[in-house]
Chain A
Amino acid sequence: DAEITQSPRHKITETGRQVTLACHQTWNHNNMFWYRQDLGHGLRLIHYSYGVQDTNKGEVSDGYSVSRSNTEDLPLTLESAASSQTSVYFCASSESNRDNSPLHFGNGTRLTVT
């Protein structure tokens, strides 16, 4: 079965370090997204991509970057981790050739910045 996998599930890092969170999907979806989830804020969009070599900023993109070198992967990089980036991060994907295709989510990465 097709799926979307995030790794690691849990990560603890120190302030100032660069961190990369992995997202891999086998749905062959062109659209991929990164969200963060914090208490009281729901899910907020960080970055998204509509295909290889395409990346776009979302609502809360400061301090984050993504790259899309193939269809399956959209890694999220925190250039210099800050305590405010402690959160749960979710990756999602959706079809690009069908109106209103649902989002398929991974099970998240819990990141703690100390």
Chain B
Amino acid sequence: LAKTTQPISMDSYEGQEVNITCSHNNIATNDYITWYQQFPSQGPRFIIQGYKTKVTNEVASLFIPADRKSSTLSLPRVSLSDTAVYYCLVGESYTGTASKLTFGTGTRLQVTL
């Protein structure tokens, strides 16, 4: 299983760019990297997913170096509403391997004025 390591918490001011790095030294060839966001009293919500290089959507960017042993979630110009817990997952969700997806304790991001 590819274990992930993330910072427990991060603080940021509104309007700043936030980068959360996840370490996954044992990532397998078929593994993808997926990030979820969780607000209090809600289930986690998919943010972004990538395999290599860079992926960008309307919410975030995901940077993955060539060795794929880490990844960085980048949130541009955060607002108070981005205060949440962010989870990095490594693995496949396809049939037969979904049980290998492991949620760690995530990174608690606190955004203030």
Contact = CB atoms under 8 A, between A and B. Distances in A.
Interface string A55-81: 010100000000000000000000000
Contacts of B93: 31, 94, 100-103
A40 B43 contact: no
B88 to A, nearest CB: 11
B98 A94 contact: yes
Contact of A100 (B42, B87, B94): B94
B57 to A, nearest CB: 12
Interface in B33-92: 34, 36, 41-46, 49, 87, 92
Nearest to B32: A100
A35 B41 contact: no
Contacts of B34: 100, 102
12 contacts: A31-B95, A31-B98, A42-B87, A43-B87, A50-B95, A50-B96, A58-B99, A94-B98, A100-B49, A102-B46, A105-B45, A107-B42
